Amino acid sequence: MKPFFVGNIKVELPIIQGGMGVGVSLSGLASAVANEGGIGVISCAGIGLLYKQTPGDYLKNSIFGLKEELRKAREKTKGIIGVNIMVALTNFADMVRTAIAEKADIIFAGAGLPLDLPSYLTPDSKTLLAPIVSSARAAKVLCEKWLSNYRYLPDMIVVEGPKAGGHLGFKPELLEDENQSLEQLVPEVVKVAEQYSSQKAIPVVAAGGIANGEDIRRFMQLGAAGVQMGSIFVTTHECDASPVFKQAYIDSRQKDIMIIQSPVGMPGRAINGEFINSVNQGNEKPKNCPFNCIKTCDYTKSPYCIIMALYNAARGNMSKGYAFAGANAYLAEKISSVHEVIAQLKSEFALAVVKNS
């Protein structure tokens, strides 16, 4: 696996650990991946629930929580640490400003187009910007907007296909469309990035449903500089979620991985279970909204509170929540260390190179 550069940062292992909230990828998992030479990513979604310094002030607690997780990560690694920030968050601006002030290496921004992301950069900031897109068109729009409004181009583009876990940037009817497959999307986004090569090298990272070293090699052959992987790191000792949450992956079968409609207003991929069945029966409707966490969520019309569902699941209360998961999450068989997972990926990658040479 070849290293690649994001700005002036050399990524020794071309694997980015996907940002997973609420409380699934924090400093524990991110630092472990960073120590292997990849990019570790802290998800700031719902982080204010994990840090209750100021009772009743979710937004203030979110800022404190992100600072703490970045500090903890820095104590555990000298590697590359990124922050995943959903554009749909009501505190998107707070989280971006905090990540920049705390000198996070990279901000990954998805679940909406981060059209104003460069506006938060300060003259002395070192934080790099990596939007997450689901089409070449979105990549082109974003590059043009950033260039015309801020004279800035993305430092990296993550293209996330329809097999990803969590929120998906596709209409439900397009999730099985072969024209929307990651294999189709990666070369298209690479072409967009290459249009700006005289101004800036923009590496493209493939994401969504990547399960093994052979997949990594295939997408690198299609022009990706690296890959983003989430589900494979859930079933590691270092993952910050509860052992019960991890076991849901191990116990799942292919038929359990399903598409649901999220209160965020996007389809999402999750593991079916007791809570989703309860939602379908209309039993989980929220009575109020104490957090106001998502711009697009109206609790009076929502079938459930997503932040509480994800928080409960990550803490092990699966009867009151569910696990987001990629299309290949059911392949998980056991709990391993991050080092073991990456060693296996390297071995599979090497075998794929030999097989295809």
pLDDT, tens digit, 9 for 90 and up, residues 168-203: 888 888 888 788 899 999 999 999 999 999 999 999
Q: Are residues 273 and 307 in the same domain?
A: yes
Q: Report yes or no on 325 lying in a domain.
A: no
Mean pLDDT throughout 80-93?
95
Q: Could you tell me which residues come within 8 angstroms of residue 181 by beta carbon, excluding any fewer than 6 positions away?
A: 161, 162
- The reply to whether 326 falls in a domain is no
In the chain, the DSSP E strands lie at 4-6, 9-11, 15-17, 39-43, 80-86, 106-110, 128-133, 157-160, 166-167, 204-207, 226-229, 257-261, 267-271
Between 292 and 136, the higher pLDDT residue:
136
Residues 82 and 104 placed together within one structural domain of the fold? yes
The pLDDT confidence band at residue 251, using thresholds 50, 70 and 90, is very high
| 272 within domain boundaries | yes
Q: Do the domain assignments include residue 48?
A: yes
Residues 75 and 133 in one domain: yes
Q: Which residue has the tokens 């699941």?
A: 313
User: For position 117, what pLDDT does the model report?
Assistant: 98
pLDDT of residue 275: 96
So what's the pLDDT on residue 300? 84
* Shared-domain flag, residues 144 and 264: no
Say what the pLDDT of residue 119 is.
98
**61 and 122 fall within a common domain:** yes
Tokens of 37: 């030479």
pLDDT-derived band at 232, boundaries 50, 70, 90: very high
* Residues 286, 264 within the same domain: yes
Q: Please tell me the total count of domains within the chain.
A: 2
Residues in the chain: 357
Answer yes or no: pTM beyond 0.85. yes
| Residue 294 domain flag | yes
* pLDDT for residue 165: 94
Between residues 88 and 139, which one has the greater pLDDT? 139
Q: Using an 8 Å Cβ cutoff, are 226 and 5 in contact? A: no
Q: Whole-angstrom Cα distance, residue 13 to residue 45?
A: 26
Is the pLDDT at 83 greater than 80, yes or no?
yes
pLDDT digits 0-9 by tens, 277-309 = 999 999 999 888 778 888 887 888 889 999 999
> Comparing C-alpha atoms, which of 84, 240, 97, 252 is closest to residue 167?
84
Nearest to 35 by CA among 79, 94, 81: 79
If asked whether residues 135 and 204 sit together in one domain, one would say yes
- Give the model's pLDDT for residue 43: 98
| Pair (340, 193) in one structural domain | yes
Spatial CA neighbour of 224 closest among 248, 200, 241, 208: 208
Residues 227 and 251 in one domain: no
pLDDT digits over 20-37, tens only?
A: 999 999 999 999 999 999
- For the beta carbon of residue 261, count every other beta carbon within 10 angstroms: 12
Whether pLDDT at 263 is above 90? no
Query: Are 161 and 307 in the same domain?
Result: no
Which candidate, 247, 258, 312, 313, places its Cα nearest to that of 280?
258
User: Is residue 144 domain-shared with residue 291, that is, in the same domain?
Assistant: no
* Parent domain of 18: 4-241+332-355
Alpha-carbon torsion 303, 304, 305, 310, what sign?
negative
Q: What pLDDT is attached to residue 163?
A: 95
Q: Residue 294: what pLDDT?
A: 83
299 found inside a domain: yes
DSSP state of 330: G
Least confident of 246-255, 257-266, 274-283: 257-266
Question: What is the mean pLDDT of the segment spanning 320-349?
Answer: 97
Q: What is the pLDDT of residue 86?
A: 94
Both tokens of 117, joined, read 């992301």
The mean pLDDT of 211-216, rounded to a whole number, is 98
β-bridge partners, 84: 43, 108
- The verdict on 27 and 161 lying in the same domain is yes
Q: Which CATH number characterizes residue 133's domain?
A: 3.20.20.70
Q: Which of 177-181, 271-275, 343-347 has the lowest mean pLDDT?
A: 177-181
Residue 264 in any domain: the answer is yes
Cα gap 217→163, rounded to integer Å: 17
Residue 32 is predicted with a pLDDT of: 98
**Chain mean position to CA 107:** 11
| Across 115-119, 154-158, 179-183, least confident range | 179-183
Q: How far is CA 201 from CA 12, 57, 278, 320, in A?
A: 17, 41, 48, 45
Do the domain assignments include residue 327? no
Average pLDDT taken over every residue of the chain = 95
